Amino acid sequence: MNSNPLSNLVEEHKEELLSLLTKLVSFQTESPPARNTLPAQKFIADYLKDLGADVDMWEIYHNDFNVVGTKKGSNSNEYRSLILNGHIDVAAIEDKELWDTPPFEATINNNSIFGRGVADMKGGLAACLFCLSLLKKEGFELKGDVILQSVIGEEVGEAGTKECINRGYSGDFAIVADTSECQIQGQGGVITGWVTIESPTTHHDGTRSKMIHAGGGLFAANAIEKMTKMINGLQDLERHWAVTKSYPGFLPGSNTINPAVIEGGIHPAFTPNQCALWITVHFYPNESYESVTQEIEEHLMAVASSDPWLRKNPPAFRWGGNSMIEDRGEIFPALEVSPNWQGVQLLQETHKQVFNKDVNVSMSPSVTDGGWLSEANIKTVIYGPGKLEQAHSLNEELSIDELFDYCKSLIQFIYQWCNLPKEEI
């Protein structure tokens, strides 16, 4: 058993942690449909107020509020600050899913806790709150600030974390307590986009022969058929990326362009005058969403230039968005992590003290809000309990031992990091 006094505190208060996680699971914060997080966020805001934090709670969408609690340190100007970030929304449960236990009633069995969100990521969020509570109640002084962010919308690309940045919140280091199986991780990025082909004129189906046969004389096109050239062009670019780009921690060809949804046409009696393709683009940590979308646009415009009709009616592009619900688009910036950061090195130390094994920097195959913190020049890592395969899964579960060990590592990191002078960064 770890003899560190902070680890011992976690051992002594295990039931408090499980009770807190059970409470968080009980809030039905599925997203979609979203617009349902107010009760959960009010609970977290009250919890933080009880810890003496300055609480900021503001509405992003109707009934969806961000909560930021700032636990001021005793010497904030001279000691390091820390952001603890997590999302309160959870993946939706489909009607056809037959859970063994009620998904919003946390159930313990065989040393695991079951319930929607235990792995992704109410377990991590509960751990952050629990660690701050223990430090407060047991009188452990923090000289630097801790900023806890409980955000909305991560499951549907609504980037509650981005809203925290826009509101001015920053820190010397950030931990996103999302699902990583207690590995220190960065991530690639994701952006969705729409490629649209549109004809300036609409034609009856009976005129098709004049469009496609010799001597027809009608300079027109079927927008759906023209979109196939765009899809072929995207596949060519995807293969080129697989050959020419790579990044440590990712399998070759992980940077993909997925044609996910296609919409076009108005009626069988008409030649389709519009076609829109919804794509999902994965890119590496050393790339930006601006650079990869520019590459795609330049490539597809080159493809269009080889077609007489597309040359005069080129594709239009719309990238990203603030919500998959509101405007059918999302952005998750990439997150690059350096093993040379002092925050990473300290986290490796506290992890090893608890887990008795080294942890290296790796790459998540998924995405989190961490990229938005990185975009704001905040050194950020993903470090949270839970296996990725449990996220969004039927009978979602989290190892209780893993959750406890995570807390032991995290609470030591918080205490040590926030008591280090800024000049040593």
| DSSP labels, 173-239 | -EEE--SSTT-EEEE-EEEEEEEEEE-SS-EEGGGHHHHHSTT-------HHHHHHHHHHHHHHHHH
Residue 77 has pLDDT above 90, yes or no: yes
Name residues whose C-beta falls within 8 Å of residue 33's C-beta, 6 or more positions apart in sequence: 92, 325
Asked if 97 and 394 touch (Cβ cutoff 8 Å), the reply is: yes
Residue 315 has pLDDT above 80, yes or no: yes
The pLDDT > 70 percentage for the chain reads 99
pLDDT of residue 255: 97
pLDDT of residue 212: 84
Q: Domains in the chain and their CATH numbers?
A: 5-188+335-424 (3.40.630.10), 192-319 (3.30.70.360)
pLDDT of residue 425: 54
Residue 385 has pLDDT above 70, yes or no: yes
Place of tokens 């921690």: 249
pLDDT in tens, 189-204: 999 999 999 999 989 8
Average pLDDT over the chain, rounded to an integer: 96
Asked if 276 and 195 touch (Cβ cutoff 8 Å), the reply is: yes
Average pLDDT over residues 356-360: 96
The pLDDT > 90 percentage for the chain reads 93
Average pLDDT over residues 279-306: 98
pLDDT of residue 424: 61
Sheet strands (E) in 250-343: 257-264, 270-271, 274-283, 316-319, 331-332
Q: What residues act catalytically?
A: 89, 154
Residue 3 has pLDDT above 80, yes or no: no
pLDDT of residue 196: 98
Name the pTM for this structure: 0.95
pLDDT of residue 159: 86
Q: What angle do CA 278, 86, 91 make, to 5 degrees?
A: 45
Residue 370 has pLDDT above 90, yes or no: yes
Average pLDDT over residues 387-404: 97
Residue 1: pLDDT band (50, 70, 90) is: very low
